[in-house]
Amino acid sequence: MLTTTHYCPLCKPDDERVLWQDAHLRVIRVDDEDYPGYLRVIWTHHVGEMSDLSPRERQHMMEMVMASEEALRECIRPDKINLASFGNMVPHLHWHVIARFRSDRHFPQPVWGTPQRESRLPPGARQSDEALADALLKAAGRIAGR
Ligand SMILES: [Zn+2]
């Protein structure tokens, strides 16, 4: 059934931990006990696909995905980074940037897969929002300067 009301949790965010925000996008930290290095890069306007963006906007989006990846690698030193963009449940453009450890709850499955074990993360896996935001700012500056 078609409805005239439109509800999107990414258009009307509630209680987000925003680490970075500019005119086009924001980077938030996902609150997940098993995944303390889980960032989400969210385009501000409600668009569904990367190809809805202009070439310049796509580049900015991917630069911030890369900055998020670099910040996680620097801060948390994971075994692997996972990048994903689905939007099947929430069709508002966003990328998942997730620090993974061989000892995490789902490795080597995706974090949405079948759990493999109880999570046992190394001590350095849990960093403050401030430390991650600082690393993100530095990584974004490096990338913009290249
Ligand atoms: Zn939306």
141: pLDDT strictly greater than 80: yes
Q: Is CATH 3.40.50.620 what the domain over 17-145 is classified as, yes or no?
A: no
Instruction: Tell me, in angstroms, the distance from the centre of ligand 1 to residue 11's CA.
Output: 4
Mean pLDDT of the chain: 94
What element of type H or E holds 34? none
Q: What is the 124 CA–ligand 1 centroid distance (Å)?
A: 34
Among candidates 132, 130, 135, which has minimal Cα distance to 35?
Answer: 132
Q: Where are the domains of the chain?
A: 17-145
pTM of the complete model: 0.94
In angstroms, what is the span from residue 47 Cα to ligand 1's centroid? 7
Half-sphere exposure of 9 toward its Cβ, with a 13 Å CA cutoff? 7
Q: Are 100 and 81 in contact (CB under 8 A)?
A: yes
Would you state the pLDDT for residue 144? 85
Beta-carbon count within 10 A of 7 CB: 7
Spacing, Cα 68 to ligand 1 middle (Å):
21
Q: Which residues pair with 84 in a beta bridge?
A: 96
Percent of the chain surpassing pLDDT 90? 90
pLDDT tens track for 29-82 = 999 999 999 999 999 999 999 999 999 999 999 999 999 999 999 999 999 999
pLDDT at residue 83 tops 60: yes
- Ligand 1 centroid to Cα of residue 56, in Å, is 21
pLDDT (tens digit per residue) in 2-27: 554 678 999 998 899 999 999 999 99
52 Cα: distance to centroid of ligand 1 (angstroms): 13
Q: What is the pLDDT of residue 5?
A: 60
Q: Give the containing element (helix H, strand E) for 74.
A: helix 55-76
pLDDT value for 7: 87
